[in-house]
């Protein structure tokens, strides 16, 4: 499928081309693919007129065989294969609203200045979330990548690499949320016709964050299954950005559930639980007809028909204490065998099977593209010091005092060559224990990181809160080194979540740049806010600066 874009002001990477060539490239991405195949070293090459508005016949030629142009490009942007920074690379995730609902870049001038500041601070690249609800918004198989091309080229011209997150989930709680991005409108139409496509808890509450994995392989989306829809999306992304894969785009994180994580939506986003995080048990999400059908079939195979009529009995509600919960209480709760083991094994197996289906599709689609493929696991440390670990069980992780629930997932990622990503790296036991002693983020992290080590997995770390103090930054560094240090150096990088105006406040910017320097072990340019951010644009053509056929601002 070609890149959907209007006939005027079309965006595509021009690589120093004229307006005419840009339009032709946008209409025919095959030209980019041909160039990529001819360039066996997979390097983007540009002319010495990269920042000039002159036409190609005035010296601005583009050719994969143009050695001088290749050298000049690598010299300016330092994307050569020999580029290897020491230490652990740091990426910065862009704001959720980097694009508007029409798929265009918000405030491109400010975005460009921010990219320049990040590059000078020693940041390796940026993370761009590509939302299913924006790209394939109105009709199935009609994709609009235009805004993401703009972001990609802005990063490229600032010397930043790019990781993308293919997000198949809803963002935000409701249309009043400033970061609201729903599932594609045509998908929501199908959900209106058949609400069973969404997860449901024991109280019949529906969750619209992500399509229920119970219907993964069923043709419920206008003749396609959800897995087929995700695969078609990934395939069209690969085709649209093929020339950039492995060169500018170095990583692709594939979403597998709510928040992009491989998990069930045990905590509905609309639930307002201010200050009550440690008390959350979550709800089992197995009450839509597709999940019930699978559970019933599994119970029949076991010869225990009565176990297949629904989820666990006596689970209480989201805010109930584990010790008041018949299923989850530590001592004699029914989470223990035989019934508890049957249900929780099935619940985890369905989750792993969902992840494996997407891993298989993504592995095939991105084979030979030279990009690192990753996905994200959930981190629920609340009630970690109890025997039953209820907050993890309801999210799908069969992790208890007697069982490791992360090792099966790590093995699955390892089987398909995925990198594992997890969040909450800044969480500290002494801070959390002031609220409840039953939680242990550091204990959970050690377990997850051990599973990753045993399966020899590369790891990406993330922070959850964007408002970090010095101790939180120190914790990020500590947990990062905990995994990466040692005799066997395992690949590790860090995604800082996320870029906002607070990041560039002088005091916070100083903390952030110090953290980047400590991670990368490099000498960075400690830019002052007024010189790094408020850079004035030169009077030269902005279109030529970023390779656009029109002005960004």
Residues identified as active-site = 261, 462
Helices (H) and strands (E) in the chain, counts: 18, 11
Residues 216, 352: Cα–Cα separation, whole Å:
12
Query: What is the helix (H) or strand (E) element at residue 250, kind and residue range?
Result: strand 249-254
360-397 per-residue burial string, b: 16 or more CB within 10 A, e: under 16: ebbeebbeebebbbbbbbbbbbbbbbbbbbbbbbbbbb
Which pair of structure tokens corresponds to residue 457?
């997995």
Note the Cα 272 to chain centre separation in Å: 24
In order of 413, 418, 453, the CA distances from 407 in angstroms are 10, 14, 10
Coil vs helix vs strand at 253: strand
Residues 420, 429: Cα–Cα separation, whole Å:
23
Cβ atoms 438, 384 nearer than 8 A: yes
DSSP structure class, residue 460: E
Classify residue 82 by burial, with Cβ atoms within 10 Å: 0-12, 13-18, 19+: exposed
Nearest to 546 by CA among 214, 113, 220: 113
Classify residue 97 by burial, with Cβ atoms within 10 Å: 0-12, 13-18, 19+: middle
Beta-carbon contacts of 193 under 8 Å, excluding residues fewer than 6 positions away, are none
Beta-carbon contacts of 342 under 8 Å, excluding residues fewer than 6 positions away, are 298, 299, 302, 304, 307
Greatest C-alpha distance within the chain: 81
Cβ atoms 305, 299 nearer than 8 A: yes
Cβ atoms 142, 232 nearer than 8 A: no
**Termini Cα distance of the chain:** 29
Which pair of structure tokens corresponds to residue 513?
């740049």
Which pair of structure tokens corresponds to residue 296?
């019933």
* φ, ψ at 205 (rounded to 5°): -80, 130
């Amino acid at each position: 499928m070609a890149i959907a874009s209007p006939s005027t002001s079309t965006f595509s990477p021009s690589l120093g081309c004229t307006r005419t060539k840009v339009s032709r490239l946008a209409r025919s991405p095959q030209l980019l693919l041909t160039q990529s195949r001819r360039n066996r070293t997979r390097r983007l090459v540009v002319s010495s007129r990269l920042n000039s508005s002159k036409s190609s016949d005035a010296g601005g030629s583009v050719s994969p065989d143009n050695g001088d142009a290749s050298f000049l490009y690598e010299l300016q942007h330092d994307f050569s294969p020999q580029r290897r920074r020491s230490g652990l690379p740091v990426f910065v995730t862009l704001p959720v609203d980097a694009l508007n609902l029409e798929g265009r870049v918000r405030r491109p001038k400010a975005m460009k200045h921010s990219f320049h500041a990040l590059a000078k601070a020693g940041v390796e690249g940026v993370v761009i979330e590509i939302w299913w609800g924006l790209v394939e918004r109105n009709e199935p198989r009609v994709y609009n990548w235009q805004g993401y091309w703009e972001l990609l080229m802005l990063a490229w011209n600032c010397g930043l690499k790019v990781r993308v997150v293919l997000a198949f989930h809803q963002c935000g709680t409701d249309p009043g949320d400033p970061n609201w991005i729903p599932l594609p409108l045509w998908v929501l139409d199908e959900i209106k016709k058949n609400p069973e496509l969404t997860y449901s808890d024991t109280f019949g509450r529906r969750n619209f964050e992500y399509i229920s994995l119970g219907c993964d392989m069923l043709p419920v989306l206008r003749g396609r299954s959800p897995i087929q829809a995700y695969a078609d999306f990934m395939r069209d992304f690969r085709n649209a950005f093929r020339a950039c894969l492995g060169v500018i785009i170095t990583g692709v994180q594939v979403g597998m559930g709510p928040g992009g994580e491989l998990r069930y939506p045990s905590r509905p986003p609309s639930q307002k639980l201010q200050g009550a995080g440690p008390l959350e048990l979550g709800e089992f999400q197995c009450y839509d007809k597709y999940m019930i059908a699978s559970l019933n079939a599994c119970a029949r195979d076991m010869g225990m028909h009565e176990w297949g009529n629904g989820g666990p009995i006596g689970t209480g509600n989201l805010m109930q204490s584990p010790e008041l919960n018949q299923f989850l209480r530590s001592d004699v709760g029914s989470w223990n065998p035989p019934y508890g083991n049957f249900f929780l094994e099935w619940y985890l197996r369905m989750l792993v099977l969902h992840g494996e289906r997407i891993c298989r599709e993504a592995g095939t689609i991105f084979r030979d593209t030279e990009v690192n493929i990753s996905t994200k696991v959930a981190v629920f440390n609340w009630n970690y010091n109890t025997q039953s670990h209820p907050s993890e069980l309801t999210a799908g992780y069969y992790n208890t005092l007697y069982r490791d629930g992360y090792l099966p997932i790590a093995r699955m990622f390892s089987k398909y060559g995925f990198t594992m990503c997890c969040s909450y790296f800044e969480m500290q036991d002494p801070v959390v224990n002031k609220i409840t002693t039953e939680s242990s983020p550091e204990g959970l992290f050690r377990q997850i990181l051990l599973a990753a080590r045993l399966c020899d997995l590369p790891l990406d770390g993330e922070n959850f809160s964007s408002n970090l103090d010095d101790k939180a930054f120190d914790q990020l560094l500590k947990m990062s080194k905990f995994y990466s240090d040692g005799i066997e150096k395992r690949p590790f990088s860090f995604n800082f979540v996320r870029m906002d105006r607070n990041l560039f406040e002088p005091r916070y910017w100083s903390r952030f740049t110090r953290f980047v320097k400590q991670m990368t072990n490099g000498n960075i340019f400690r830019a002052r806010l007024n010189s790094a951010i408020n850079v004035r644009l030169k009077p030269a053509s902005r279109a030529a600066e970023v390779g656009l056929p029109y002005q960004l601002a």
